[in-house]
Structure 1
Amino acid sequence: MAISVPLDGEGFLVNRDDWNEDLARELAQTDDFEMTDQVMDLIRAARASYDDDGVVPPIRIFAKKSGVSTKELYNIFKKGPMKLICKWGGLPKPTGCV
């Protein structure tokens, strides 16, 4: 399946406005990840936080705001939860502790 919008070298959206939930599912699928309602809820929460603050929240703050533990995020995503949430959510690549 070919993604029909421009991505950077790491698979992040070039244009944030290209994002939609179907695209999020496609991006996750290219990473061999099955999108769940819980993951989509986390992506929506990260997007809302980004819209409010203009930055991707650090994982500890995001976990607290989302009502999940950092450990739960790692159980769901295995590695780099914020990186994947941002990648699939059409947000900029997070910096710092992800």
Structure 2
Amino acid sequence: MSISFDVDKEGFLKNLHEWSPDIAEELAKSEGILLGDEHWEIITILREFYLTYEISPAMRILVKSVKEKLGDEKGSSIHLLKLFPGSPAKIASKIAGLPKPTNCL
């Protein structure tokens, strides 16, 4: 099954309303990530954050949000780096179908 969706030059969805779990899987594959339960926990937190504040959280805010919802063990930059190597806030936001966080390179 092939899903078609438009992304910008950095791979972020152009139309945020097109997002679906299937598209998330495709976006993750393009980053070399196979989504598991722990990835989905972070994606859910990101999407809830975006619905509340209408921005994608930067790393520090993402860590704080994850810590509040999932506890200290998962609410760490080390845990997020294991799930989303490189730039966790940017890559997780991309997979969650959200805009690029404003202060991510």
Q: Give the aligned residue type for 1:10.
A: E
Alignment of 1:1-98 (within 5 A): 3-67=3-67, 68-96=75-103
User: How far is 1:3 from its partner?
Assistant: 4.7
The secondary structure found in structure 1 opposite 2:28 is helix
Q: Distance in 2 between matches of 1:5 and 1:54?
A: 22
Q: 1:97 to 1:28 in 2, by over 3 A?
A: closer
Q: Stretches of 4+ moved more than 6 A in 1?
A: none
Task: Quote the RMSD (CA, aligned, Å).
Answer: 1.7
- Give me the TM-score of the superposition, normalised by structure 1: 0.89
* Count of aligned pairs: 98
Q: What residue ranges of structure 2 are gaps of 5+ in the alignment?
A: 68-74
Distance 1:16 1:97, change over 3 A: closer
